[in-house]
Amino acid sequence: MAMPRCEGGRIMYWWFLIMVMLCSLVLGCQCAAFNDFFYPSWALDHVMSQGELLQLKLDPTSGAGFASKNTYMFGKANVQMKLVPGDSAGTVTAFYMSSQGDQHDEFDYEFLGNTSGEPYVVQTNVYSNGVGNREQRIFLWFDPTADFHTYSFLWNRQQAVFFVDDVPIRVFPNNEKRGVPYPQTRPMGIFSSIWNADNWATQGGRVKTDWSHSPFISTYKNFNIDACRDSGPQSLMRRCSLWWDQPVYSSLNAKQSMQLKWVHEKYMIYDYCKDSARFPTPPAECA
């Protein structure tokens, strides 16, 4: 009986290796170190690596950013982040997905800095066919500077969902039947950056960056991409029919719907759909 167990173990071991290789090479299913699938995209001397941690630094000379080496079509991407502590007024740390070109698609997290003691504001936005202006803002229900928290995008043909620690904070459903363009034709890269935006980021630009508190540092770990990597136009859509296209991911479940309602009722401070000054006629997706 020992030999069959040994042979079975070898078979399972090689089958596991084959599946890992296929996942990495074909599907883009990745969970690894920063350098495996990202690179510093600007201000290389402001991108710092400390073991498993990556840090982006903002000082009076520059901000910094990184970008994925590949683009992706549908799936899930997330990272654990610890935001700038203390007086971070005027700064913005962003984590986002974006395609290229004038009619680009984009999903944004923008973490707006604050004066010490105030809650952090998260602004989300969605672009489709180059059209954005879909901002929502919420307060976070925890201190994002005290520990790491997970920020995620889930993107498929039916919906794009923004998650914070697996709690949905925003859903952008496919409303093409209402004439609303939906991002589903352009592969997107994954990016993050930190920069000075004191002309608008904190209290509408009334509070400026206090450079005596610099450098401002955002910290990252546990990068994870489980998505379909774009390797050319041939059969891209067909190859992306994977777990995220299962019916269970076409909409929020009952628990997630309650979580989203809780976030919006307790922590939402701005919703473009309710801004009649900007949009006297509500956008079609807000109906």
Query: Residue 244 — φ and ψ, nearest 5°?
Result: -70, -10
pLDDT tens-place string over residues 91-120? 999 999 999 988 999 999 999 988 877 888
Those residues whose C-beta lies under 8 Å from the C-beta of residue 202, and which sit 6 or more positions away, are 89, 90, 112, 113, 114, 115, 208
* 26-30, 41-45, 199-203, 220-224: least confident range: 26-30
CATH assignment of 30-274, among 3.40.710.10, 3.30.420.40, 2.60.120.200, 3.60.20.10? 2.60.120.200
Question: What number is the average pLDDT over the span 78-89?
Answer: 93
pLDDT beyond 60 at 11: no
Strand partners, 139: 121
Burial class of residue 183, CB neighbours in 10 A (0-12, 13-18, 19+): buried
* 73-100 b/e (C-beta count within 10 Å ≥ 16 → b): bbbbbbbbbbbbbebbbbbbbbbbbbbe
pLDDT beyond 80 at 226: yes
Band of residue 238 on the pLDDT scale cut at 50, 70, 90: low
Cβ proximity of 77 and 225 under 8 Å: yes
106 is catalytic: yes
Band of residue 139 on the pLDDT scale cut at 50, 70, 90: very high
- The catalytic position among 7, 52, 106, 118 is 106
- The catalytic position among 52, 110, 118, 285 is 110
pLDDT beyond 70 at 245: yes
